[in-house]
Amino acid sequence: MTPDMHDILAAVFQPGAALVTMTALGHEALLHEVTVAHAFLVRITDAVRHGAGRLLGYVLLPDHVHLVVVPAAGQTLDTLMRRVTIGFNQDYAALMGLPGTQSLWQQPYRRWYAADEDELTILLDYVHYDPVRHRLVHRPEEWRHSSYQYWVERKLYKLGWGWTSPASIHGKRFE
């Protein structure tokens, strides 16, 4: 990690920062449709806006989601994720014209906590490189359902990052 990257992440790192991976039941491509992916993103940003926590990074792939989040003080990761999943399950049923709601995600979701800025870097690198790793795109900037561009604008990443597999995530699996 460069000194500039360290400074950027030191400004946003908080204890409790976690990578959450949620996988659709049966690896169904729930988020393949743009409107459905947008509905999921609206749910997570709505939870953040209403004080449930902070969203530091995300990527929405057709059959799974990676979120880097920090629950708000007095909140738990489970509370934050329950708020997002229950709301999204309702939205999904409405979008698909399904009666009632149903569980859409494998349980339990998986989580990994960042102890410091270096570990947060690894989590964000993994999230932003995942569409390339799954061969959905050739470069991270080609995937639209990601916070990658947000972090490029804030100088965490430079043009060309992720065009080859980042050393920081070699051997890492957060699926």
Domain ranges of the chain: 3-166
CB 106 within 8 Å of CB 23: yes
**Partners of 22 in the β-ladder:** 65
Residue 155 has pLDDT above 90, yes or no: no
Q: In the predicted model, what is the mean pLDDT of residues 142-156?
A: 92
- What pTM, to 2 d.p., does this model score? 0.89
| Segment (H or E) for 57 | strand 53-60
pLDDT above 70 for 96: yes
Query: Is it true that the peptide bond before 108 is cis, omega within 30 degrees of 0?
Result: yes
Residue-averaged pLDDT of the chain: 88
Q: Is the dihedral of CA 70, 71, 76, 80 positive or negative?
A: negative
Token pair belonging to 85: 């999943």
Domain 3-166 has CATH 3.30.70.260: no
3 vs 111, higher pLDDT: 111
- The answer to whether residue 8 scores a pLDDT higher than 80 is no
Average pLDDT over residues 147-153: 93
Query: Phi-psi region for residue 8, left (φ > 0), alpha (ψ -120 to 50) or beta?
Result: alpha
**Is 152's pLDDT higher than 70?**
yes
- Provide the pLDDT confidence category of residue 11 given band limits of 50, 70 and 90: low
Tell me the Ramachandran region of residue 97: left when phi exceeds 0, alpha when psi lies from -120 to 50, beta otherwise. left
Mean pLDDT of 39-58: 90
Mean pLDDT of 137-154: 94
